[in-house]
Structure 1
Amino acid sequence: MNSRQLHAARMLGAALLAAGLGACASLNREQAEQQQYVDEPVERIYNRGTDALDQGRYPRALRNFEEVERQHPYSSWARRAMLMEAYAHYQNNQYDEAIEDAQRFIALHPGNESAPYAYYLVAICHFERILDVGRDQATTERALQALNDVVRRYPESSYARDARLKIDMVYDQLAGKEMAVGRFYLERDMHLAAINRFRNVVENENYQRTSHTPEALHRLVEAYLSVGMTEEAQRMAAISGHNFPGNEWYQRSYTLMTDSGVAPVAEEEAERRGWFGRTFGAVF
């Protein structure tokens, strides 16, 4: 065999070897894909997801629940998996993703028995992101809307009972925001603006039973005295004493009134003037 023939033989051998290796690689990839995407009993995949969830391995749990949906999209297991994805995201503090999954469940299965939980999960995701009273309260408003949605749709459910408790907490947060703004105005001698904020706390029926009402009444006494509205200051002090007689804020109002030379109005006289029934008597 001359050198030219030897070279050709070598080239042919290399080509055949490359083709063989390529075929093997292609076969290996195909086998790997078959192994990766082989159908499994849905219970096994779902249980792997719940086991991972129990262990706090949320990304692994999500992969298994997503696989349930991929392999068995029209099964009852897929519906469960969809809601479990929302819960796994929530547990991992991925609130936007949890809300998206829960809302997807609601859109696809509005009449499902687990729909109340999906609505509740949306509300909780908003509720747990409520910021302090010094910040914008858009998240608080969204939480309030979602919690009220749970109560409106499923008033007799355990979710509604918990939602009502959280609604009270949300109103306390919003009333606290009003108080923070009112104090800001009061410290800068912007008395009328401060009065509007404090009156909103004592007159808004959603804020009246919050923890901020006693202070709001005292701040009104303080603001009214500052602008010379003596009778209004006496009225707020009388209402405070009538509803919160042992509260420190009433004691502060009483001290402020006497130090300012303004006599507090006795309860009998305040009742005769209709101060209790006119605005607050039916509430406090």
Structure 2
Amino acid sequence: MSVAKVYKGMKDVAVRALVVGACGFVLAGCDTLSSINPFDKGEVYKPEVVADIPAEQIYNDGLARLQKKDFESAAKKFRDLDKQYPYSDWARKGLVMETYANYEGGLYEEAIASGKRYLQSHGNSPEAAYVQYLMASSYYDQIPDITRDQEKSERAILVLQELIQRYPNSEYTADAKKKIQVASDQLAAKELEVGRFYLQKRNYSGAINRFRMVVSRYQTTRHVEEALERLAEAYMAMGIVNEAQTAAAVLGHNFPDSSWYKDAYALLTKGGVEPREDSESWISKAFRGVPQVGQKAG
């Protein structure tokens, strides 16, 4: 057994120093290691030299595995570039491709992790916007249905917004905006689902808080119409008629052809009142200057 095998895993620095010194002595004038190796069976130490694999070869090997859709193995190859050629341009390129391979392979958490590493060191590089987009897409592709926790939806929006802010002229900005809209729609749907549950249970204050979230934060989603109508329902049930009238009036002003407005109007007239906007209401203030679905900001 060689000295490398005998002392493999030892953590004591003094022992390692002793071994290194002994090896130098043996290589200089001894045929075997029996003088320092009690387990030696007469084996002769033969140092093995491993030739460095060129960075380009490692990179191309990773590309070849990508073409075969062996994404996990490809990611590992690209990761090897950083290990063998740290701080090099090959390492930087490899980190981009590692993020891409992880994303394509559905290894989203790994893609997010490698993407963060890249942006920490190369946030101003030409590929930074692309890496940010891959990170955002990794969150976005994990968005669950509305019955489950929406943390991934929230994270997707944050990273997509950061992409737009940091790289406003990138080719990924337009798609990022579309993804934000979809993720926001998902969050609004979740708030509505919970709000409807509270409304059914006659927990009107709890319901109002959920519908208010939709109206305040997700005004450009398709769920804002229902949220305004549900607010009118909840406020009428609580006897807060002024807010119910404002919710219906704002709904009618922004979505006059909506079936939800017809329901809100019928609800108010049944209670002996009509839609009327109070400009001091939080609902009225929330809608000032905000473009709605299908509209463009002026």
TM-score, structure 2 normalization? 0.73
Return the offset for 1:174. Answer: 2.1
Match of 1:282 in 2: 289
Provide the C-alpha distance between the structure 2 equivalents of 1:74 and 1:221, rounded to a whole number of angstroms.
Answer: 60
Q: 2:244 aligns with which of 211, 229, 233?
A: 233
**For 1:245, which of 256, 277, 280 is the aligned residue?**
256
Question: 2:220 aligned to 186, 204, 209, which one?
Answer: 209
- 1:169 maps to which residue? 182
Please state which structure has a larger fraction of its residues in helix. 1
CA contact under 8 A between 1:230 and 1:262: conserved in structure 2?
no
Unaligned runs of 5+ in 1: 1-18
Cα distance in 2 for partners of 1:239, 1:147 equals 30
Q: Tell me the secondary structure at the aligned position of residue 130 of structure 1.
A: coil
Change (3 A) 1:67 1:250: same
1:264 aligns with 2:274: yes
Larger radius of gyration: 1
Cα separation, 2, equivalents of 1:128 and 1:192: 34
SS of residue in 1 equivalent to 2:289: coil
Change (3 A) 1:91 1:211: same
Are 2:89 and 1:89 equivalent residues in the alignment? no
2:163 corresponding residue in structure 1 = 150
Partner Cα distance (2:88, 2:158) in 1: 32
Work out the number of aligned pairs and report it.
Answer: 250
Which ranges of structure 2 fall in alignment gaps of 5 or more residues?
Answer: 1-40, 293-298
Opposite residue 136 of structure 2, the aligned amino acid is: A
Summarize the Cα distance change of 1:224–1:57 in structure 2 as closer, same or farther, 3 Å threshold. same
Q: Give the RMSD, CA atoms, in angstroms.
A: 2.9
Cα shift at 1:216: 0.6
Deviation at 1:183, TM superposition (A): 0.9
Q: Deviations over 1:108-162 (max 9, x none)?
A: 3233221222222222212221222232232222222211221221112122332
- Give the TM-score, by structure 1 length: 0.76
Alignment counterpart, residue 219 of structure 1, candidates 227, 230, 249: 230
